[in-house]
Structure 1
């Protein structure tokens, strides 16, 4: 089964981000706005139980992370993906790095770039129009991430939460 590890912003922030995504992101209905900490990987039930234990340990040692979004950026020319840039912090890098040790399956495909996708799979013309329009907007979003989620993909392509890990909570 396919799994991933993400952090969801708070509901008001998700609503704001979805105002862009519903028009420009074909994955809008498949997964809420999120910050990917570990991209998708395959694992069986036994491996997931081991990972849950490790993820509880990581959450125990993590403090809430203040995030700031004030810029639209893009992965062009590699892909026509447009995203909200989450200002990088050492806490975010450390959190992602903790999920890329030998205990976790799957290798990094890309360097960790803290972001929340708002548009993807655009044609070149759509990309130019959308990026030109959105990049002129004054975006000032502040939020606090206080948990991350192990998610899995259903047969219909929708991603759903397997388990949530709250920062600083003492798991047994």
Structure 2
């Protein structure tokens, strides 16, 4: 099975992102808007229980934090992905690093850039049209993130939550 670790922003931010994703992201129906902390990796169902236990302990070392967004950006020319840039901060970077160290960095291809995908797999012309329009409006948003999720991929390609973990020493499900 394929697993990954992500955080989901508020419904308000998801609704804004989805208003574009439904047109510009072929993965729109497969997963809600999210910030990937650990890229997809293979594990058995038995291994998933151990991974969940390890994650449950690891997230206790990370307190809830503020997620801030302020602009639209792009990974062009590497690929035609348009994303909502999450302002970098130590809390997100440390959480990403610890979880990837714990799981031995599965699927790491690129440097970690905290973001929420708005559009992907676009032609060059479509990429520049959409990017130009979105970049002019930007989005200032701030919210507290207090949980992360271990996800697994269903046979039809959709991702669903395997287990949710509250951040912080005092957090209980």
Match of 1:148 in 2: 148
TM-score of the aligned structures, taking structure 1 as reference length: 0.94
| Matched residue count | 172
The alpha carbon displacement at 1:108 in A equals 1.6
1:7 matched to 2:13? The reply is no
8 Å contact kept, 1:67–1:144: yes
Taking the TM superposition and a 5 Å limit, the aligned residue runs for 1:1-150 are 1-101=1-101, 103-104=103-104, 106-150=106-150
TM-score of the aligned structures, taking structure 2 as reference length: 0.94
SS state of the match for residue 136, structure 1? helix
Considering only aligned residues, what root-mean-square deviation do their CA atoms show, in Å?
1.6
Gaps of 5+ in 1: none
Structure 2 CA distance for aligned equivalents of residues 135 and 44 of structure 1: 41
8 Å contact kept, 1:153–1:160: yes
Gaps of 5+ in 2: none
What CA deviation, in whole Å up to 9, does each residue of 1:96-140 have, x standing for no partner? 011112544625211110000000000011111111111111311
Question: After the TM superposition, which segments of 4 or more aligned residues of structure 1 sit over 6 Å from their partners?
Answer: none
Structure 2 CA distance for aligned equivalents of residues 102 and 170 of structure 1: 20
